[in-house]
Structure 1
Amino acid sequence: MLAIKRATPQDATAAFEIRREAILGQCIGAYTAEQMALWTRGAAEDGYSVLMEKPFYLGWLNDTPVATGMLDLDNNEIGALFVLPEFTGRGFGKVMLDHLEDVARALAIEEVVLDATLNAESFYRGFGYVGDERAVYRSPSGLELACIPMTKRLV
């Protein structure tokens, strides 16, 4: 069973590695090798660690962090939902998504948004997220990636 815990600053490196491994393992075909290399370069200390100050969570299987997820309260946005490739297909992404939605509901957030990567669109659609238009996600590092903005009403 996945245990979800609020991330601490000490979890930043583990969270960054989960993100890196998930992108490299699950975005093949949706994005170019060059895009994935740019997307995963660097280290947690290069800016990713600041996300630990938000409602950022790690999903633990025994003593191993295997999934991440975040709720950006400034934008009512779910983000950073990543699962290590060797742990996909076990429902851990759904458990994390449910947790983030529960946190949003507890804060009386009525609708959440997210930018789905092209490979994750069907995952989110399967859990009630809607949105069809392609857009461009611009990361703080300047990387531009095609995405699908999606929303879900929580009430």
Structure 2
Amino acid sequence: MFEIRRATPGDARIAFDLRRQAIRHQCIGVYSEEQMLDWTKGSAEDGYDTLMQKHFYLGCVEGEPVATGMLDLEHREIGAIFIHPDFMQRGLGTRVLYFLENLARGQGLTEVRLDATLNAADFYRSCGYIGEESAVYQSPSGLQLACVPMLKTL
């Protein structure tokens, strides 16, 4: 059974590791090896742990975290949707995304935005997001990655 729960500060390492595994599995060939290594280096304590204080969630199968997702209400942005490689292609990403969209609606948002990785843009389009133009995502660590800014009316 898949359940989504609010993440706690103690979940930062689990969430960071899920992110690292998902990126290294899903983004091979889309981004350079150097970009992927830069994107996934470090540890949760390098700043990822502060994300747990926002609307950050873990998706769990039988109590084990296998997915992450975040809603930044201030910026009306959905992000950090990562699925453990062993659980990809099971609809869990869609479930996390729709959970976050429903949360946004409940908080009064009428639209949300996200920066899709190049490999995920088609997934988001299939979920009703609009966006075609490439842009450059600037991470807090200084890494620059090609992305597709997208928007969805709720």
CA distance in 1, matches of 2:43, 2:73: 24
CA distance in 2, matches of 1:67, 1:148: 22
Task: State the match for 2:126 in structure 1.
Answer: 126
Report the secondary structure of 1:82's partner residue. strand
Task: State the match for 2:138 in structure 1.
Answer: 138
How far the C-alpha of 1:74 sits from its partner, in A, is 1.3
CA distance in 1, matches of 2:50, 2:83: 20
Report the secondary structure of 2:31's partner residue. coil
Task: State the match for 2:84 in structure 1.
Answer: 84
Task: State the match for 1:13 in structure 2.
Answer: 13
CA distance in 2, matches of 1:62, 1:10: 19
Deviations 1:51-97 (A, max 9, x none): 00000000000121000000011110000000011100111000100
Give the letter for the 1:79 counterpart.
G
Report the secondary structure of 1:148's partner residue. strand
Matched, 1:33 2:33: yes
Task: State the match for 2:94 in structure 1.
Answer: 94
CA distance in 2, matches of 1:35, 1:69: 22
Task: State the match for 1:114 in structure 2.
Answer: 114
CA distance in 2, matches of 1:95, 1:63: 16
How far the C-alpha of 1:27 sits from its partner, in A, is 0.2
Task: State the match for 1:55 in structure 2.
Answer: 55
RMSD: 0.5
Task: State the match for 2:24 in structure 1.
Answer: 24
Return the TM-score normalized by structure 2.
0.99
Matched, 1:45 2:24: no
Give the letter for the 1:74 counterpart.
E
Over the matched positions of the two proteins, sequence identity in percent amounts to: 60
In the TM superposition, structure 1's runs of 4+ consecutive aligned residues that sit over 2 Å from their partners are none
Give the letter for the 1:129 counterpart.
Y
Report the secondary structure of 1:53's partner residue. coil
CA distance in 2, matches of 1:2, 1:111: 26
How far the C-alpha of 1:10 sits from its partner, in A, is 0.5
Give the letter for the 2:52 counterpart.
M
Aligned residues: 154
CA distance in 1, matches of 2:15, 2:43: 10
Contact 1:2 1:95 in 2 (8 A): no
Deviations 1:1-20 (A, max 9, x none): 31000000000000000000
CA distance in 2, matches of 1:114, 1:2: 24
CA distance in 1, matches of 2:73, 2:15: 19
